[in-house]
Chains A and B, each alone.
Chain A
Amino acid sequence: MATKNRQKWEPRTGERAIIHHKRASRIREGAIHLALFLCGILSIFTTLGIVAVLVIETVEFFKEVSILGFLTDTQWTPLFVDKHFGIMPLVCGTLLTSLIAMLVALPIGLLCAVYLSEYAPERVRHVLKPVLEVLAGIPTVVYGYFALLFVTPLLQGLIPSMSGFNALSPGIVMGIMILPIISSLSEDAIFAVPQSLREAAYAMGSTKLQVSFLVVIPAAFSGITASFLLGISRAIGETMIVAIAAGQQPRLTPNPLVPIETMTAYIVQVSLGDTPTGTLEYRTIFAVGMMLFLSTFLVNIVSLWLRRRFREVYL
């Protein structure tokens, strides 16, 4: 085949060759441009796909269940005979575990970030950065295992009334999972604060602590807040830790010692069962997913806006 072509091929010469070459290359360039554009635009279709899927199924869901009942009913029992579709218990479970996670991740993450960027000698940085990276890379099932089989028994030793499934233990472990996100993003924000601000404060006789807390942290505030928000959105969307260690009992309670169920864990619970597609039970996971998507979306947008702001101010 190749030799045949070669025999037929005559070298184009002079102007014709250049024109031919130019046309071919313009077509090729255009085709490549188009292909790459399609790759770029795919992400928009992904978002549209997510929104479409959630909206379609949620609309079907609300044809059978009233929105008011969905938002105000205090019981969530779609898999029982006596069906109630009140999302509040699931939202409550999600908020409870997320709150505990943030109580762990926020102070420790911020301390680590300030210490790493303002204080730590190179040696400490060299140890701690990889540790944080490893913590961030551990799969969430592994954290789930750790919460259920290590942290819960440990806490039960301290609080004997605690149930085997509870919100406290997965909350704490989730906090540890989120910690690297908060500390590394906060550190980026702190790093972006110009050195001149620090020097000005030192020149006025401030101590290192004062520079860190009265100058650097306020200056990096929007970036630090953005990292907290991102952490919150991670906590809301986290699935495996709570599915493994928090239980499967939707319950409207602020008590962190009893089994609860989060929105994500409910989706897992239904997915593991044999719920036939197209039924009301099947649609509940999309309604819950919609709620989940909206809440994380909102938090993410604010976080993104804040991060953009701190970049514009200093870079």
Chain B
Amino acid sequence: MKGLYHIEHRKMPTRRRRGRRGEWIFQSMAFVALVFTIAVLVVLLVDVFRDGVLRLNWQFLTSFPSRKPELAGILAALVGSACLITLTALFAFPLGVGAAIYLEEYARKNWLSRVIEVNIANLAGVPSIIYGLLGLELFVRMMRMDRSLLAGACTMALLVLPIIIISSREAIRAVPVSIREASYAVGATRWQTIRYQVLPLAFPGILTGTILAFSRAIGETAPLITIGALTYVAFLPTGLFSPFTALPIQIFNWVSRPQKGFLTNAAAAIIVLLIVLLLMNAVAIWLRNRYQKKLY
């Protein structure tokens, strides 16, 4: 660390011009990098849009998959994704927020809370397909949920849990200590303080983080394939134990086929998926902007 404070004399500019040229080279490289990044995003969106927008119509949204690409649709996938994400939210939201409250408000600074903390950070970095393997053994085989909506939602819940915990903790930490102290001073218990003071203030932040976590879950494909979500489903899910498909799986299935028509379908389904994501993110940003100012 010592060396940081000390700039070698050799590297100091002897001529100002040299420094200026270096500056120019760096700035133009950075500019190229920025333009490249933005260009990739634009090209990606334009490419998908151009491929799929003509296929997008009411029939596409309300039809079941078919062997003929022009008759196929994404109804089962869309409803499957909606059910899956709702169930996942039901499981993951209370558990995640509960864990965040525990870690921020209750846990003492001892080895156990340190272990939990490191463990959560680690889980956030485990590849999603590994969660799929866990879901396959634990939910599909051992708990005999079979390849059902419930098994998919449980797997997804475990997958998004670390993200929810991390973002909820940040939101809870942002609530000033003075508010808790004021609450304790008028005789509130710890839970009353959390329930009536901390949570209402932290809630917009928690909600924003959670929505972003679920928008990630909606696009997640690998774990669902591993637990065996079907790729050809011509019915709507009827209950928790019903087989299901989801939008990204439908896209994957269509992309893997050689026929041109299915590739077009994939592009159209991608547009739908991106619109759903856009809406979810817009809601998250709206919540953030709306409540951020009111707080402090």
Binding site for B on A (CB under 8 A): 25, 28-29, 32-33, 35-44, 46-47, 49-50, 53-54, 56-57, 107-108, 111-112, 114-115, 119, 124, 127-128, 131-132, 134-135, 137-146, 148-150, 176, 179, 197, 200-201, 204-210, 212, 214-215, 218-219, 230, 233-234, 236-240, 243-244, 264, 267-268, 271-272, 277, 285-286, 289, 292-293, 296-297, 300-301, 303-304, 313
Contact = CB atoms under 8 A, between A and B. Distances in A.
Nearest to A207: B19
Given A115-B34, A142-B219, A209 B19 contact: yes
Contacts of B30: 111-112, 114-115, 119
Most chain A beta-carbon neighbours within 10 Å: one of B11, B216, B255:
B255
Given A137-B215, A293-B130, 11 more contacts: A41-B116, A44-B115, A50-B126, A128-B37, A137-B212, A141-B248, A145-B251, A206-B12, A210-B19, A237-B126, A264-B127
9 contacts: A47-B123, A112-B37, A114-B30, A145-B267, A197-B5, A210-B13, A239-B127, A239-B221, A244-B255
B122 A297 contact: yes
Given A145-B266, A149-B263, A293-B130, A135 B37 contact: yes
B99 interface: yes
B23 interface: yes
B279 interface: no
B7 A244 contact: no
A272 B106 contact: no
Given A44-B115, A137-B216, A179-B37, A37 B267 contact: no
B273 interface: yes
A93 B120 CA distance: 29
Interface string B100-142: 0111001100000101101111110111111111101110010
B284 to A, nearest CB: 10
Nearest to A301: B122
Most chain B beta-carbon neighbours within 10 Å: one of A40, A143, A208, A218:
A40
Contact of B4 (A108, A149, A210, A218): A218
A286 B138 CA distance: 13
